[in-house]
Amino acid sequence: MSKEAKRAIYILVFGNFLICLGISLVIPVEPYIKKSYGFSTTEIGIMTSLFAFAQFVASPITGRVSDKIGRKKVIVTGLLLYMVAEAIFAMSNSLWLFDISRIIGGLAAAMFVPTSMAMAADLTDDKQRARVVGWISAAFSGGLILGPGIGGMLAHITYKVPFWAAAILGLLSTIITQWLLPDEPAKDIQAMPKINWRQFLTPLLTILFAMIFISSFGLQGFESIYSIYVNQVFNFGMGTIALVLTLNGVISLFFQIVMFDWLTKVLGELKLIALCFLGGSLSTIWITQTRNHWQVIVATLIVFTAFDLLRPAITTLLTKMSHANQGLINGLNMSLTSVGNVVGPIMAGVLMDINPHSPYLLVAAILFLSFLISLIVQLVAIRQTK
């Protein structure tokens, strides 16, 4: 990899961290906003979900646009919109302004995240791809993990401070990216033909897209009610829950930065995907059947690690499917992730009101079915190579 390509990768990694930091900064200040302005819980919930909704709608479009006009223009515009979104949130004093900020933030994420992944795919060959996708996934996870903590600390001054800080970082990142990120060769941004969807959505590509949805759906279905579930069923206190989530953050970063590239080389993406689905399914069932607190913690960490490896493994495989439509592929990837992020918590909440174990049993069943499908995909791939 050339020095210019490495510099571009580092910029993309930092940008993903920054975008995900902005996604999660709002979490610790929601109670302050709700109390200060008298918003209902439903209004706060809608405000939060508007980010994912805007990301879902815009990601395939912005991905395709980046295929046509070039990655850098879309990436820089995404960072600029991120800065605007954070500044509007900091200045807001009414619900409609908070909502607009979240919509613009979702559009910014839709422009930056899939396009940055597409550009990373453009800059790397198949051997380097897994390592770089692992770095970007770690940046993604790191932003989501650190965002609530940083937001909570800065909010002690005033709840607006985290968003002003994020806006300033967004502006600086926009300037640095415009200055240092290399332009694509003219041959790479020429007008592209209209997509033939029947040829584009091959059976394998369709299955991989389905797996992206299932993994995000399963993760959010598992994670969104985890604190409530372990408190209600196992009497975990806030300290224990915080310990589990902290350990998960450390393990997640270790596996994505250090282990992911090695695992894909030893196992291959398909085998790794199958093992993650199987490990996640069995460990989820384990949680519902045990009464030992340490077993619950160990099983939880296995589930989270499986999900943390699933997404970059599927993404790496997706980027190898078509070199001509990286923006569209990664846009659809992000869009399906957003759908899973919205549907998963709703499903988990509804089912938990019926029976506390039912959401996890459903997640386990879906993951095991996905494991069986991944085995079939492996058999088909083996036959095609013969």
Range of the domain at 177: 3-183
Same domain, 303 and 326: yes
Of 183, 213, 243, which residue constitutes the final position of a domain? Answer: 183
Is residue 203 domain-resident?
Answer: yes
Same domain, 276 and 378: yes
Of 148, 183, 218, which residue constitutes the final position of a domain? Answer: 183
Identify the pLDDT of residue 27. Answer: 65
Is residue 188 domain-resident?
Answer: no
Same domain, 155 and 211: no
Same domain, 162 and 232: no
Is residue 269 domain-resident?
Answer: yes
If one counts the domains in the chain, the total is 2
Please tell me the pTM assigned to this model.
0.74
Of 183, 209, 233, which residue constitutes the final position of a domain? Answer: 183
Same domain, 57 and 137: yes
Same domain, 133 and 244: no
Is residue 189 domain-resident?
Answer: no
Identify the pLDDT of residue 385. Answer: 57
pLDDT tens track for 77-93: 999 999 999 999 989 88
Averaged over successive runs of 10 residues, the pLDDT of the chain (386 residues) comes to 82 85 72 80 77 85 84 91 92 90 91 86 80 82 74 78 87 89 61 60 77 82 80 82 80 86 88 92 94 92 89 82 71 79 78 86 90 82 61
Same domain, 49 and 149: yes
Identify the pLDDT of residue 378. Answer: 78
CATH number, position 110:
1.20.1250.20
Same domain, 157 and 294: no
Same domain, 170 and 240: no
Angle at 17 between CA 101 and CA 255, to 5 degrees: 140
